[in-house]
Structure 1
Amino acid sequence: MSTSAPARAGTRIEFPYLDGIRGLAAVVVVLYHAWLFTGLSGQAVASSDLAIPRLIIGHGYLGVPVFIVLSGYVLMLPMARNGSSWYSRGFGSYIFRRAKRILPPYYAALAFTVVLIAAIPLMRAPHDTQWDSKIPVTFGGVASHLFMLQDLNHDWIEQINGPMWSVAVEFQIYFLMPLILLLWRFCGAWVAVGITVAASIVPALFGVATFAHPWLLGLFAIGMLAARLTFVVPSRRWIEPAALAAGLVVVAVAYRALPVVREHGWLIELVMGCLTAAALVALGRLAIAGRRNIVTGFFGSRPMLFLGLTSYSIYLVHSPLIGLANLVLLPLDLPLVANYLVLTFVAVPLALGVSWLMFFLVERHFLNSRQRDASRELRAAEASAAPVEAGHDGRRAPAREAAADEAEAAY
């Protein structure tokens, strides 16, 4: 493709701040669920006492479209770097690596949640809380989770462990990515992404299977396009300001159409996805140019990198633990605000601790090569008490790993 500039031979450009963005998105989702699980079902949403939390984190579910755009972005990066539009080792190798990275932690978290529900009677009985949507655990629910198909059935999608539905959606998108690339090859990037986005929002326009969030496929394609725009020829200096301007235009239009956006949740997610993509393009091109900034410095800091490294485990494990904590608090008859504060400042840190344990016991054994390097770097920095270099966004590293191993996990 003439509009792309491959990286120099023998080098590859890294964007470690992407892990920090992923980590923040995971924490935002956790805080959103702590608010959502507070008290009885719907009580936190309707309570005027929790109006400020609702204003701040009431849209925390938008972390999901951020994850999806990030996924399309990082999975397209190896091709964007090399100016190609197909997998360097073929589709079979690509899907095997994705399965190896995603499935073992997913199945471990699924087993953990099922055992937790089976072992604690409190979690098996309905109490008119948000947790009620996760029970009872049925054969169809378990089977659909095992085959990652729970998002296709309204009765299964929320069962057992709610956030897992988006992992299933993402895994299914992996199999559709080659179709987007074929369209890309024959129609061009913009047309291919436009067709994908249009096709993905048709079900939402007609109110068909909206619980499955079909528009996430379009957001994944937008993330792919953002990766390609990140690597367009450097002479096109208008890309960074244009990307930021496009993001601001999207936000402005959404604000003007706010009643419509509120009425259709998929529009909010589409707006958030476009804004995320625009930011990724701008940050990526600044990183390639070696221009440091506060944003990439923050997301590339040691705490954010650690959050990013463990974000998948955080995403997989937190929901049943927060749900259990709320069930334990209910008999105490605490004021709703106190219930919320305990969930946020006690249950959430405990859930993060269990997530780290899940990462240490399971997920770290299935990291890709880049993530293993990042993990070793963080451990070495901790051991020496030396700060991780926050300015390494956009650094160039030896190409001792195959381009096929550069694809990162979606969470």
Structure 2
Amino acid sequence: MGHGTGETERMHALDGVRGIAAVVVLLYHLTLMARPRLEETAGLWEWITQSPLRPLTAGSEAVLVFFVLSGLVVSIPALSGSFDWLRYYPSRLLRLYLPVIAAVLFAVALIVFVPRLPGAITPDSWLANRVASSISVSQVIEESSLLPQTYTIVNVLWSLRWEVMFSVLLPVFVVVGLATKRHRALAAVLAIALGVVGRVLDVDALVYLPTFFLGTMIAVNLRELRAWAARVSARGRGLVWAALAGASAVLLVASWLARPFAPAGSSLSAALWGLAGAGAAGLIIVAIGSPFAERMLSARLPRWLGRISFSLYLVHVPVLASVAFVLGDENWPLVAAIAIPASFAIAWLFHVAVETPSHRLARRAGTRVASQHDRVREPIAS
């Protein structure tokens, strides 16, 4: 979910994509909180999740959009001949870990000070099973490290674990991206196929790492993509962008739309879910190439949402859970009315107080490591 530099400075629409994706994740967790009550009304849960409305609450799929974005914006600077890898590693890891640790501590404070009584929520619900109601020091340390596979203090941290993995392996992604540049169509098909196999076999690495790679491929082929987009737009073929956006949105949520004939847990459903990464990449291409999409996504509100998106992503579940434990999940409309604006307000404060200073500190740390290395090398070189 990190921001890039250089080429991406001209792609303000990506901030809009990032902001909208963060809101979708928030709405997704709101529906999970409300699910016990939504299922009491015949057909309502299915109407929300298996209709064209699904992209509005497709949280797991929105995370794949984040992964493609990271693959793109983190790879672009690395493709520069002047890229400093010594500066990159400390800077990138601090940019990820400092907000994560702060988010865990924020969630811990809410768990400690806001009562989380089991009787306030529906037994065996998402809140009961996936969100911590008590904590231990070891759990705080583990989740802050981003080493576990599952998280309950801040349960979105599972995705940051993959962000760290991609960030560490960035040289491999860049090398493979450059090596496959002449065969980009085949490489993209193989990456998408790996995602499908990963879903069918339930191997997360085969799902998520190829999704990052699709973003790296967009970065490697950005000049060609821009040239193609300019030709399409010059010919007045707006329908091409509309078709690509529609097809990408369908791919993103295909497993949900197919639920009536491909039930959850079936191999066909898993295979369709594996196509979500391709849908995410398609939406990013539309955001970069379509003049209309670029104008919409570069508007003030989407870009503001993009600015606070990482902070919103980190703080919204602890806020939502705390309000739900106080009011009871049966009162989910009231929970939403309080938790949604509170999440945005706290995300903005978190962005100002934690995320922005973390970025400054990360840049300074990267510069210091690189300069110390240069000072060590100078006597050797002389």
Indicate the SS of the match to 2:294. helix
Mapped contact 2:21–2:65 kept (Cα < 8 A)? yes
Select the residue among 302, 305, 312 that pairs with 2:303: 305
Residue 36 and residue 366 in structure 1: after superposition, are their counterparts in 2 closer, same or farther (change >3 A)? Answer: same
Letter in 2 for 1:97: S
Q: Distance in 2 between matches of 1:110 and 1:122?
A: 17
Mapped contact 1:73–1:227 kept (Cα < 8 A)? yes
Mapped contact 2:248–2:279 kept (Cα < 8 A)? yes
Q: Distance in 1 between matches of 2:258 and 2:76?
A: 33
Match of 2:89 in 1: 95
| Aligned: 1:350 with 2:337 | no
Letter in 1 for 2:26: V
Letter in 1 for 2:275: V
Counterpart mapping for 1:5-404 below 5 A: 14-38=10-34, 42-45=36-39, 47-48=41-42, 50-51=44-45, 52-54=47-49, 55=51, 56=53, 57-78=56-77, 84=79, 88-122=82-116, 127=121, 128=123, 129-132=125-128, 133-135=130-132, 136-138=134-136, 141-151=139-149, 157-188=150-181, 190=184, 192-199=187-194, 201-208=196-203, 212=204, 214-232=206-224, 236=228, 254=254, 259-260=261-262, 263=266, 267=271, 269-286=273-290, 292-293=291-292, 295-330=293-328, 336=330, 339-367=331-359
Residue deviations 1:104-142 (CA, integer Å, cap 9, x gap): 111101111112212333268884242222234355533
Indicate the SS of the match to 1:171. helix
Mapped contact 2:111–2:322 kept (Cα < 8 A)? no
Mapped contact 1:200–1:214 kept (Cα < 8 A)? yes
Residue 141 and residue 199 in structure 1: after superposition, are their counterparts in 2 closer, same or farther (change >3 A)? Answer: farther
Residue 62 and residue 245 in structure 1: after superposition, are their counterparts in 2 closer, same or farther (change >3 A)? Answer: same
Letter in 2 for 1:168: R
Q: Distance in 2 between matches of 1:168 and 1:199?
A: 20
Residue 243 and residue 230 in structure 1: after superposition, are their counterparts in 2 closer, same or farther (change >3 A)? Answer: farther
Residue 50 and residue 329 in structure 1: after superposition, are their counterparts in 2 closer, same or farther (change >3 A)? Answer: farther
Q: Distance in 1 between matches of 2:297 and 2:89?
A: 29
Mapped contact 2:108–2:153 kept (Cα < 8 A)? yes
Residue 214 and residue 159 in structure 1: after superposition, are their counterparts in 2 closer, same or farther (change >3 A)? Answer: farther
Question: Alpha-carbon deviation of 1:201?
Answer: 4.8
Q: Distance in 1 between matches of 2:20 and 2:248?
A: 22
Residue 111 and residue 214 in structure 1: after superposition, are their counterparts in 2 closer, same or farther (change >3 A)? Answer: farther
Residue 234 and residue 226 in structure 1: after superposition, are their counterparts in 2 closer, same or farther (change >3 A)? Answer: closer
Letter in 2 for 1:67: F
Mapped contact 1:204–1:215 kept (Cα < 8 A)? yes
Residue 354 and residue 213 in structure 1: after superposition, are their counterparts in 2 closer, same or farther (change >3 A)? Answer: farther
Indicate the SS of the match to 2:224. coil
Residue 251 and residue 314 in structure 1: after superposition, are their counterparts in 2 closer, same or farther (change >3 A)? Answer: closer
Q: Distance in 2 between matches of 1:325 and 1:87?
A: 50
Question: Alpha-carbon deviation of 1:76?
Answer: 2.7
Mapped contact 1:137–1:159 kept (Cα < 8 A)? no
Q: Distance in 2 between matches of 1:49 and 1:345?
A: 23
Q: Which runs of 5+ in 2 are unaligned?
A: 1-5, 362-382
Indicate the SS of the match to 2:112. helix
Q: Distance in 1 between matches of 2:250 and 2:302?
A: 29
Mapped contact 2:21–2:62 kept (Cα < 8 A)? yes
Q: Distance in 1 between matches of 2:214 and 2:7?
A: 26
Indicate the SS of the match to 2:155. coil
- Please report the TM-score for the alignment, with normalisation by the length of structure 2: 0.73
Q: Distance in 1 between matches of 2:288 and 2:296?
A: 15
Mapped contact 1:26–1:314 kept (Cα < 8 A)? yes
Indicate the SS of the match to 1:121. coil
Letter in 2 for 1:271: L
Aligned length: 335
Q: Which runs of 5+ in 1 are unaligned?
A: 1-9, 152-156, 287-291, 370-411
- Please report the TM-score for the alignment, with normalisation by the length of structure 1: 0.69
Residue 268 and residue 329 in structure 1: after superposition, are their counterparts in 2 closer, same or farther (change >3 A)? Answer: farther
Q: Distance in 1 between matches of 2:224 and 2:248?
A: 22
* Root mean square deviation of aligned Cα: 3.7
Question: Alpha-carbon deviation of 1:11?
Answer: 8.8
Q: Distance in 2 between matches of 1:108 and 1:12?
A: 27
Residue deviations 1:300-336 (CA, integer Å, cap 9, x gap): 1112111110111100001011111112222xxx8x5
Question: Alpha-carbon deviation of 1:27?
Answer: 0.9
Percent identity, aligned pairs only, is 23
Mapped contact 1:162–1:319 kept (Cα < 8 A)? yes
